[in-house]
Amino acid sequence: MPTDKSKSKKRITSYDVAREAGVSQSAVSRAFRPGLSISRKTRDKVNKAAAKLGYKPNAIARMLITQRSGMVAVIISSIASFVYPELLTRLNEQLSAKGLRILLFTLDGAEELDEVLDRIWAFQVDGVIALAAHFEHASIAQFEEHDIPVVLYNRQVPDHPVNTVCCDHEQGIGQLVQSLVKAGHKTYLVMSGPEYSDVANERRIIALRQLKNLGFDDVPVIYGNYSYESGKECFSRWMSNNPAPDAVICSNDMMAIGCIDEARKVFGLQVPEQLSVVGFDGVYASDWGAYELTTVRQPVNQMAKAAVDILVDRIENPGTPPEKRVLAGEFRKGNSARV
Amino acid sequence: MPTDKSKSKKRITSYDVAREAGVSQSAVSRAFRPGLSISRKTRDKVNKAAAKLGYKPNAIARMLITQRSGMVAVIISSIASFVYPELLTRLNEQLSAKGLRILLFTLDGAEELDEVLDRIWAFQVDGVIALAAHFEHASIAQFEEHDIPVVLYNRQVPDHPVNTVCCDHEQGIGQLVQSLVKAGHKTYLVMSGPEYSDVANERRIIALRQLKNLGFDDVPVIYGNYSYESGKECFSRWMSNNPAPDAVICSNDMMAIGCIDEARKVFGLQVPEQLSVVGFDGVYASDWGAYELTTVRQPVNQMAKAAVDILVDRIENPGTPPEKRVLAGEFRKGNSARV
């Protein structure tokens, strides 16, 4: 736990108590767990040692006292994304520092939502962080009815106030589009993520609106599924019936990387000399030497911290009104576009 | 849940019971949770509807009956690795199919082990899967004392029998080394992962032994930390005092990818024409067009399935002796080495 390290005193563990009491760690563990048999003599020894050292048996005891489980459900969708691993790591760091643990749920499709919700209630989690999963108004209302605070990541629910942490897509995509137009690109292709992804839809709509505002109407759109492979496939599909555009605006970095590989290897195009490609996310691989993507990096650290801050505040202060935090991305001028 | 989809009947949820009983989902949820107040009339309606539909309230009820929590602790170390995300996804699929959920723990250093163990006992998990975390004999014994089965991933504990699932490093690295030697490479560099990683040490030792067996003694070793950046840095460090070798044998794909980018961009070397580079793991990015790594792919799917199978068997049949499963990797002849 990062925060514990900075404190001067080491946290007392059951092992310290066991040494002090002259019993096994297992005995200490049993002494603080309800319903398990242990001799009165051992229990007394353990209690005495625990009091002396200031040992606080953690999760279970806290659960019984506070009626909290110490667990936060993190719901991820199964769409392959290079953003999730980093995000999950950051969320885990932030939640651990607050003494909370991640209980992982995967949502594969809308038809499973009821099942996932049932499981979440059953585990009595203290809160929920939903990454890119599609939640309707009704699901959010269910959480509210159960007094379980929810924070959505990069996702809003129309006409329903909800805690949410978003990357500023408008500003980030605006910067990408404006720099492409300013640099003189005349023909565009928007490579979108899947239509069932709210984030993909938002990014596509913003890109098209920004282009229109700058005089580029009716820019064509091609749809992929956010993966590297679909970036390759989309570019090939486009090229089978059309000339290469000046610039491809991809809804995420993975598709941009696939697009670049396909353009270079299959169509012999030089990137960025003959084709500009921009992405979005700023994933780990985006600045690798072979790609050096021009992209917008989501501020994953700050977004994870904001999500956990909002959630913990709502766990501790039920009834606080929902809040939306929008964090600016960082424009990265790489070497994949002539901007 | 993948397996549920294939079944003909949809799982009955609390929402179905609520509709049948004419009460809210929240009422159904409360009816099956101990210690919560609910009117006798509502409880009767819910019980009747539940019986009619064959609804089985899940985790909490099961926990009370079976004394199991339905949770498995997955311990990951914080070393950046592109293998974990895929592995975590596969473990989650396999565990979900068995009705088990992942409770995530991160182990940052040996000094924290006692704390992490305390947390694991407190949550009363049913079992533990440890990915690349460094466990001593003593920690394993603690789990055994608590009757919590453990499965280690790619890791063995000397002189202590323990459940483990490993990729066959001997066979995989053997294949890489033999094909390089057979193709006529004369000078080698082994780019190793960090010395605190058991897997890295195993891979380095095997590579050096295999080279020695084929007549290449005293092959130099350079140490990185498994990351892309350290692959770049290691290659630069080597080149600052030495000529380029014929082949670099990297302990993982990430370092191999960094090594390739550095060789091409900074030293103007053509890969594989002037420099052969091989990796290990077969991560998502290893077959991207810019790299097309020659590597050995860990059978992540099968390894995750094996780990979950062993764990569930030990949860259900305590006392079953420990078991080791070694799964062969898949040699992938990419385009990063002259083999």
What integer pLDDT is reported at residue A198 of this predicted model? 81
**Which chain B residues contact residue A58 at CB under 8 A?**
118-119, 122
Task: Name the residue with tokens 């440890």.
Answer: B130
In chain B, which among 277-306 make CB contacts under 8 A with chain A?
Answer: 284-285, 288-291
Q: Which of A268, A242, A237, A243 is nearest to A255 (CA)?
A: A237
Q: Which residues contact A280 (CB under 8 A, 6 or more apart)?
A: A169, A172, A173, A176, A203, A250, A251, A252, A253, A256, A295, A296, A298, A329
Which has more confidence, B245 or A83?
Answer: B245
Output the CA–CA distances (angstroms, integers) from residue A177 to A127, A292, B297, in the order listed: 38, 18, 39
Q: Kindly report the nearest CA distance between residue A124 and chain B, in angstroms.
A: 9
pLDDT in tens, B50-66: 888 877 665 545 554 55
User: CB distance from A93 to chain B under 8 Å?
Assistant: yes
Q: What is the mean pLDDT of residues A206-225?
A: 97
Res B79: pLDDT: 53
Cis peptide upstream of residue A272 (ω within 30 degrees of 0): yes
Measured distance CA(A214)–CA(B50) in Å, rounded: 59
Q: Which candidate, A234, A249, A231, A260, places its Cα nearest to that of A187?
A: A249
Contacts of A142 in chain B (CB under 8 A): 25-26
Give the pLDDT score at B311. Answer: 96
Mean pLDDT computed over B238-265: 97
**Three-state helix/strand/coil letters over A121-158:** HHCCCCEEEEECCCCCHHHHHHHHHCCCCEEEECCCCC
SS3 call for A222? strand
Quick check: B119 and A289 CB within 8 A? Answer: no
Closest approach of A210 to chain B, Cα-based (Å): 31
Among chain A residues, CA nearest to B16? A114
Question: Which among B108, B111, B105, B140 has a CA at the least distance from the CA of B125?
Answer: B105
CB contact under 8 A, B102 and A101: no
* β pairing state of A330-332 and A295-297: antiparallel
Sheet holding A247-250, edge to edge: A221-223, A188-192, A247-250, A276-278
Residue pair A128/A73 in contact (Cβ under 8 Å)? The answer is: yes
Q: Which residues of A touch B288 (CB under 8 A)?
A: 228, 257, 261, 290
Q: Which of A3, A108, A115 to mutate to test the interface with B (most CBs of B within 10 A)?
A: A115
pLDDT band at B6 (very low <50, low <70, confident <90, very high): very low
Contact list in A for residue B123 (CB cut-off 8 A) is 59-60, 70-71, 101
User: Could you tell me the CA-to-CA distances from B120 to A60, A328, B126 in Å, in that order?
Assistant: 11, 37, 10
- Average pLDDT score, chain A: 86
Residue A108's pLDDT is: 65
| Among the partner residues B89, B122, B261, nearest to A58 by beta-carbon distance | B122
CA B53 – CA A171 distance, rounded (Å): 51
Q: To probe the interface with A, which of B15, B30, B88, B123 has the most A CB atoms within 10 Å?
A: B123
Q: Would you call B101 and A104 a contact, using CB atoms and an 8 Å cutoff?
A: yes
Q: How far apart are CA A110 and CA B216, in angstroms?
A: 58
**Residue in A closest to B286 by C-alpha:** A285
pLDDT confidence band for B5 (50 / 70 / 90)? very low
Contacts of A124 in chain B (CB under 8 A): 33, 60
Distance from CA of A70 to the nearest CA of B (A): 9
Cβ pair B184, B172 in contact under 8 A: no
Surface of B (7-46) touching A: CB under 8 A? 11, 13-16, 24-26, 29, 33
When CB atoms are compared, the residue of A59, A92, A114 closest to B119 is: A59
Contacts of B284 in chain A (CB under 8 A): 82, 228
The three state secondary structure string of chain B is: CHHHHHCCCCCCCHHHHHHHHCCCHHHHHHHCCCCCCCCHHHHHHHHHHHHHHCCCCCHHHHHHHHCCCCEEEEEEECCCCCHHHHHHHHHHHHHHHCCCEEEEEEECCHHHHHHHHHHHHHCCCCEEEEECCCCCHHHHHHHHHCCCCEEEECCCCCCCCCEEEEECHHHHHHHHHHHHHHCCCCCEEEEECCCCCHHHHHHHHHHHHHHHHCCCCCCCEEECCCCHHHHHHHHHHHHCCCCCCCEEEECCHHHHHHHHHHHHHCCCCCCCCCCEEECCECCHHHHCCCCCCEEEECCHHHHHHHHHHHHHHHHHCCCCCCCEEEECCEEECCCCCCC
Higher pLDDT, B99 or A171: A171
Asked if the C-beta of B236 comes within 8 angstroms of chain A's C-beta atoms, the answer is: no
Interface mutation target, options B19, B101, B233, chain A, most CBs of A under 10 Å: B101
Closest by CA position to B13, among listed A122, A107, A283, A3: A122
Q: Say whether pLDDT at A8 is over 50.
A: no
* Band (B252; pLDDT cuts 50, 70, 90): very high
Q: Report the SS3 class of residue A184.
A: coil
Confidence bin at B331 (pLDDT 50/70/90): very high
Q: What is the pLDDT of residue A33?
A: 64
Q: What pLDDT shows up at residue A81? A: 58
d(CA A248, CA A266): 16
Query: How many beta carbons lie within 10 A of that of residue B10, not counting itself?
Result: 13
pLDDT of residue B115: 73
Closest by Cα among B298, B299, B284, B282 to B334: B282
- Give the A:B interface size as CB pairs under 8 Å: 143
- Identity of the residue in A14, A118, A261 whose CB atom sits nearest the CB atom of B13: A118
Provide the pLDDT for residue B22. 92
Nearest chain A Cα to B85, which residue?
A85
Which pLDDT score is estimated for B256?
A: 98
Q: How far is B211 from chain A (nearest CA, A)?
A: 30
Using a pLDDT cut of 90, give the percent of chain A over it: 53
Interface of A with B in 51-80 (CB under 8 A): 57-61, 70-71, 78
Q: What was the pLDDT predicted at B93?
A: 86
Tens digits of per-residue pLDDT, B212-221? 999 999 999 9
Contact B13 A115 (CB under 8 A): yes
Q: Do A101 and B96 touch (CB under 8 A)?
A: no
**CA-based diameter of chain A, in Å?**
84
Tell me if chain A has a CB within 8 Å of the CB of B333. no
Is the pLDDT at B291 greater than 50? The verdict is yes
Name the pLDDT band for A160 (thresholds 50, 70, 90): confident
Dihedral angle sign, alpha carbons of residues A86, A89, A93, A94: positive
pLDDT tens-digit profile of A238-253? 999 999 999 999 999 9
Nearest CA in chain A to B108: A1
For A203, phi and psi rounded to 5 degrees?
A: -65, -40
Q: Which residue of B has its CA nearest to A60?
A: B122
Is A262 in CB contact (< 8 Å) with chain B?
yes
Tokens of B6: 């294939």
Q: Quote the pLDDT of residue B43.
A: 84
Beta bridge partner(s), residue B330: B297
Give the integer Cα–Cα distance in Å for B75 and A89: 12
Tokens 């290469």 — which residue?
A: A244
Q: Give the mean pLDDT of chain B.
A: 86
Which tens digits make up the pLDDT trace of B74-113?
A: 988 765 455 677 788 889 889 988 878 899 887 765 556 7
Cα separation, B85 vs B79, in Å, equals 12
Main-chain phi, psi angles of A274, to 5 degrees: -105, -15
Give the mean pLDDT of B309-313: 95
The token pair that represents B173 in the structure block:
């690295």
Domains recognised in chain A with CATH numbers: 9-66 (1.10.260.40), 71-167+300-328 (3.40.50.2300), 169-298 (3.40.50.2300)
Give the Cα separation of B55 and B29 in Å (integer).
Answer: 12
Residues of chain A in contact with residue B228, where contact means CB-CB under 8 angstroms, are: 284-285, 288
pLDDT tens readout for residues A279-329: 999 988 999 999 999 999 999 999 999 999 999 999 989 889 999 999 999
- More confidently predicted of A197 and B307: B307
How far is Cα of residue A274 from the mean position of the Cα atoms in its chain?
34
Q: Which of B83, B121, B259, B270 to mutate to test the interface with A (most CBs of A within 10 A)?
A: B121
CA distances from A130 to A134, A153, A276, B253 (A): 9, 6, 34, 31
Contacts B92 to A, Cβ<8 Å: 104, 106
> How much is the pTM?
0.81
- Asked if B335 is an interface residue toward chain A (Cβ–Cβ < 8 A), one would say no
Of A283, A289, A233, A238, the closest CA to residue A258 belongs to A233
